Amino acid sequence: MAISLRIQGALALVCIGAAACQTTPELIGRDTQTINGSLERLNPTDVAVAPVRYGAAGVSAPTGMLRRAAQVGLTRRRYSPLALSLVDASVDAAAASVADVGAIEGNVLEASYAAGDLGEDAVLELTVHAWDSSLWGTRRRLDVMVEARMVDPADPFGPPLWAGRLSKMIDASGVGGLDDSGRRAMEFACSQIFQELFAKMPPRATDGASDLDGGGEGSFSGSSAVDGGGGL
């Protein structure tokens, strides 16, 4: 009888442990590495989302969806993203200028968004380092590495005000099913990317004050804490 009770007790503990593992929520932002600069101190309002860049040859991603998802993510952190049409019009103007110079000098140059063209307070630069969609058609999963950098238009090549890099498998299998075009699922996946990336971006202080003075410069770092500001 004592042996039977011990076995029953052991089984109960196993069941409780299994249930706990199944119900533990995943911490948003735990897969994001961050660099904390002076974003909180600068406390920008208007942010321009620059065109997406690729960090490796052969990488392809839905750049329009990513930029729109980044705008929504910035709004949730209380920043005011500028209309993408304004940013793109600036790029088009630069392209026309570059075309004129190229025609004169016989060179082929690439136009890009120039920080500060629109009088913005900060620029969000997005780089897609990896975008593996080999499981998208069958399982609606993406293996991605995306980097976001907030930079000061007054010093666009200096250290970032804040930066985050996400490397994660994004699961959108529960959205839209596998028989539709996949657009809703892809929009959801892009939204998830910026939920993760911006989980630890300091929100804009709407009262003009900040509780922290911004971290130091350095490489991407990690920590177990997940909050609105500090590193992983």
Going from the C-alpha of 161 to that of each of 71, 154, 157, 224, the distances in angstroms are: 17, 11, 11, 22
Question: Which of 62, 117, 112 is CA-nearest to residue 91?
Answer: 112
Question: Which of 196, 232, 230 is CA-nearest to residue 214?
Answer: 230
pLDDT tens per residue across span 121-178: 999 999 999 999 999 999 999 999 999 999 999 999 999 999 999 999 999 998 876 5
Q: Name 89's Cβ contacts closer than 8 Å, sequence gap at least 6.
A: none
Phi, psi of 216 (to 5 degrees): -85, 170
Q: What is the mean pLDDT of the chain?
A: 78
**pLDDT tops 70 at residue 193:** yes
For the chain, the structural domain boundaries read 26-200
CATH tag, 26-200: 3.40.50
Q: Say if strands 141-151 and 162-171 run parallel, antiparallel, or are unpaired.
A: antiparallel
Q: How far, in Å, CA of 82 to CA of 54, rounded?
A: 22
DSSP letters spanning 192-232: HHHHHHGGGSPPP-TTS--SS------S-B--S--SSSS--
The predicted structure's pLDDT at residue 219:
62
**pLDDT tops 70 at residue 111:** no
